[in-house]
Amino acid sequence: MSGQQQMSATSSVTSSANEVSANRCFGGWQKRFSHQSAVLNCEMYFSVYLPPAAELGRPLPVVYWLSGLTCTDENFVTKAGAQRVASELGIMLVIPDTSPRGDAVPDADDQAYDLGLGAGFYVNATQAPWAEHYRMYDYIVDELPSLIQQQFQVQPKAAIAGHSMGGHGALMIALSNVKRFSSVSAFSPIVNPMDCPWGQKAFKHYLGNDKSEWQQYDSCELMRQQGQFLQLPMLIDQGLADDFYQHQKLAKPLEAIAQEINYPAEFRYHEGYDHSYFFISSFIEDHLRFHAKHLAEY
């Protein structure tokens, strides 16, 4: 049974969310919540932007944002500048953390930034000592959406987006759950983790040495396997001054497969832009308008 399938076969009780903070923002509310995660076996935080349209009492369209290495749920909230456009479009933003947290949660022995805390890679770990807590795939796919649906009035189908490691998460999760999402987008995504240093390090530790277990979390593998039959609108932006672009093989390997099988994905490359939130904030409006268009179809 695969790592994804194991938790899907295990039921868990969805806890309630506790509001930690609330700030008025572009007529809506930027809020932060905590809850006890049954999937990750620890307390988790997530952030939500509620647009003014939330006060109308109608189900809101939702965009999930998955952040990259070293980030928490607060980086996107404070740096991306997404709330203004989300307010205008009436979109709710949901921003989870990037890994389990807490004193009992294992971290990399050498405190490396690309493994352990802040580096969950959105997979269900199967190896010790990670397996007890690092089940981010099921947290993002099942537990957190169930909690959001319990706490808020939201539409049944959502959009998903992310950056770097979070771009990997957004693409991989969308390609694995095509019928659950309206669209997917990413900035500077790790698209082929089986064949880049970041992904190989994480997958070896979290999933073991059997590379057949890695394939279910690799966007290139997923698109090649089923992209001719199951497709989602997809937008990917990549900065050409990104220090990780070549070394981590960002964006390009997935574009090659999309072209090969005629997958409806738009890849955009930008001179002078790097891997930072300066890049994200420059084009986040495009991504939210892209998702709003497709969310409106449901």
Would you name the residues annotated as active-site residues? Answer: 164, 242, 275
Can you tell me the distance from the alpha carbon of 120 to that of 114, in angstroms, rounded to the nearest whole number?
A: 9
Distances (CA, A) of 172 to 61, 70, 296: 21, 19, 23
Would you call the peptide bond into 129 cis, given omega within 30 degrees of 0 as the criterion? yes
Helix (H) or strand (E) holding 290: helix 277-295
- Tell me the C-alpha to C-alpha distance, in Å, between residue 220 and each of 45, 61, 215: 30, 28, 9
Query: Cα-Cα-Cα-Cα dihedral of 120, 127, 146, 93, to 10°?
Result: 10
Please tell me the distance from the alpha carbon of residue 32 to that of residue 208, in angstroms, as a whole number: 35
Residues 217 and 158: their CA atoms lie apart, in Å, by 20
44, two tokens: 């988790």
Q: Which two tokens stand for residue 142?
A: 């099942």
120 Cα distance to chain centroid: 11
Residues 9 and 14: their CA atoms lie apart, in Å, by 15
